[in-house]
Structure formats: C-alpha cells, structure tokens
Amino acid sequence: MKIRVDEIPDSGRVLHVHWTQERLERLLPPNDPKGFCLARPLNVDLEIHKKPDHLEVTGTIAGKLTLTCDRCLDEYPSDLWRTVRVLLFRESLGPKEEEVELEPDELDYEFFDGEILEVDRMIAEEIFLELPIRRLCSEQCRGLCPGCGANLNREPCLCPTRKVSSAFEVLRKFKPGNA
Ligand SMILES: [Zn+2]
Ligand SMILES: [Zn+2]
C-alpha cells in the first residue's frame, strides 16, 4: 500500500488495515529466513498528518505473531503490540542535527521521497523493530540435543552416552589384566 502525500487531506488521514502475511511476503525476497509469520492479520490503526516539513504517523500495530524458538526451533505464539510514532522527512529537507532533540526510545525519524508514503514498508519495519532479540518458546525451553537432535521438551535424548561410558569402564577393567 502506498499513499500519495498530495492526497492526504489537511485534516489528516486515518487508516485501519488488516495487515496480512501476504503483504509482508511481498516486501521480502522469496524464502527469506525471517523467523516469524503473522498468526492472523494484524490490526493496524494509523493516523497520518501533514506537517510543514514532514509527515507524522502515529498509531498502533497489534496482533499475534508466530515466532520460531532459538533453542528448539518450534513455533510459538507471541503477542505484538507496537506504538508507532514516526516522523518522515523529505530526503532533501532532513532535520538539522541541532533542531532535533531525539529521545531515542520515544520516536523515530526516517526519510522518504516526499511524494509517496510506502505504508506497507513502514509497517513491516515497525514489526521488525518489535521482534524480540532472543526468541524462546519458554524460559525453561530445553532445546535440541546437539547429539541426536531430539527436542528435549518432549522427547528423550537417544544419544548412546551411557553405553559409551560403560564400554569405557569395561575397557578400564580389562586393561590391568592385559598389561
Ligand atoms: Zn523452545
Ligand atoms: Zn541426544
């Protein structure tokens, strides 16, 4: 979805979108290992206001994602709630350093061509910013066994560690006799 700046009324524009997996896919290269998908379409509520030298986009993105656990590689659901506040400046009219007192966590500013607001791209960026850095299905996730690959949350490890160690013990018992 793209919005032309000259079609945004002075009173602003309100957007309510059910943002789908398909829209996300369209922005990414095929088979991109993004490690998440939308469990269902996200509820995106945004307001876009024209300011003298920039656009201000505020609102929320809410819904549920399906993430992949870093340890066991299972998928698990994760709630998404992102408060959006992005200021978009025309590339040629970027804010001068001294004019912007940014509180890094409070707002974002970005640049665009001044004519077309790429709404889908902006929404995708906001979702990426909200993704947890460490993705765990639970704090107690026991992960995969590096030996046999068993998902230790629900399967026993099948590595023959006990047999190996008992074999060593057998060898040890034999050694003195052989020496
Ligand atoms: Zn896990
Ligand atoms: Zn194992």
Note whether residue 70 is domain-resident: yes
- Weakest-pLDDT range from 43-52, 58-67, 94-103: 94-103
Verify that 97 and 179 share a domain, yes or no. no
Note whether residue 162 is domain-resident: yes
- pLDDT tops 70 at residue 96: no
- Its domain, for residue 168, covers 144-179
* Alpha-carbon distance values, 28 to 21, 23, 64, 122, 126 (Å): 11, 9, 19, 13, 14
Which ligand is nearest to the Cα of residue 142, counting in written order? 1
Stretch (H or E) spanning 14: strand 13-19
Note whether residue 93 is domain-resident: yes
Verify that 44 and 97 share a domain, yes or no. yes
- pLDDT tops 50 at residue 17: yes
Closest-CA residue to 127 (of 8, 15, 23): 23
CA of 151 from ligand 2 middle (Å) equals: 9
Note whether residue 159 is domain-resident: yes
Average pLDDT estimate for 137-146: 95
- pLDDT tops 90 at residue 172: no
Q: What is the pLDDT of residue 179?
A: 43
CA of 143 from ligand 1 middle (Å) equals: 5
Buried-state track 102-136, b at ≥16 Cβ within 10 A, e below 16:
eeeeeebebebebeebbbbbbbbbbbeeeeeeebe
Closest-CA residue to 8 (of 64, 51, 63): 51
- pLDDT tops 50 at residue 178: no
Stretch (H or E) spanning 19: strand 13-19
Verify that 40 and 104 share a domain, yes or no. yes
pTM here is 0.75
- pLDDT tops 90 at residue 56: yes
Q: What is the pLDDT of residue 97?
A: 56
Which ligand is nearest to the Cα of residue 159, counting in written order? 2
Q: What is the pLDDT of residue 26?
A: 87
Verify that 41 and 124 share a domain, yes or no. yes
Quickly count: other Cβ atoms within 10 Å of residue 33's Cβ.
6
Verify that 85 and 58 share a domain, yes or no. yes
Verify that 120 and 177 share a domain, yes or no. no
Question: 29-33: long-range contacts (C-beta < 8 A, 24 or more apart)?
Answer: none
Note whether residue 136 is domain-resident: no
Q: What is the pLDDT of residue 52?
A: 85
Instruction: Count structural domains, the chain.
Output: 2
CA of 173 from ligand 2 middle (Å) equals: 27
Verify that 85 and 159 share a domain, yes or no. no
Do 10 and 50 contact (CB within 8 A), yes or no?
A: yes
Verify that 85 and 165 share a domain, yes or no. no
* Alpha-carbon distance values, 29 to 1, 26, 39, 116, 118 (Å): 17, 8, 20, 22, 17
Note whether residue 137 is domain-resident: no
- pLDDT tops 50 at residue 69: yes
Which ligand is nearest to the Cα of residue 68, counting in written order? 1
Q: What is the pLDDT of residue 173?
A: 60
Note whether residue 25 is domain-resident: yes
Note whether residue 135 is domain-resident: no
CA of 72 from ligand 2 middle (Å) equals: 13
Verify that 118 and 51 share a domain, yes or no. yes
Verify that 90 and 168 share a domain, yes or no. no
